Amino acid sequence: MTPELKTMLSEWLTSDDEAKRHHAQWRLSQSNPLEYPPLFQQAVNAARAVGSVVSAAVHGEPITVPQEEQDRRLAICHSCEFWDAKQSRCSKCGCFGQWKTWLASQKCPVGKW
């Protein structure tokens, strides 16, 4: 764990944000780095996401969610055991949470949102 990450997690431990506190506690208790799906699977996941966004656009469905919904989804990600705070990514599917939580057609790979 890098010194920068340790500093960030230490700050999060005293944060008013419950999700940040929970994530910092969990992350500091972990000794093994998170493993990601194989790169090919991550590429497939990304391609499916692009396809679902294109499909939504073609069918006149919303492409993005309101900021409040994105914030709610991202808070759930930050408190998840699969969240990698260092890379701001989900280790279950390999997505970058900031992007995936913004897209209306996307779902959490373990069904949390």
Tens-digit pLDDT profile for residues 62-97: 999 999 999 999 999 999 999 998 889 999 999 999
pTM of this prediction exceeds 0.75: no
Q: What distance in Å separates the CA atoms of residue 63 and residue 29, rounded to the nearest whole number?
A: 37
* Residue pointed to by tokens 């914030």: 71
Burial of 32 (0-12, 13-18, 19+ CB in 10 A): exposed
9-47: per-residue pLDDT in tens? 888 888 899 888 888 887 777 655 788 999 999 999 999
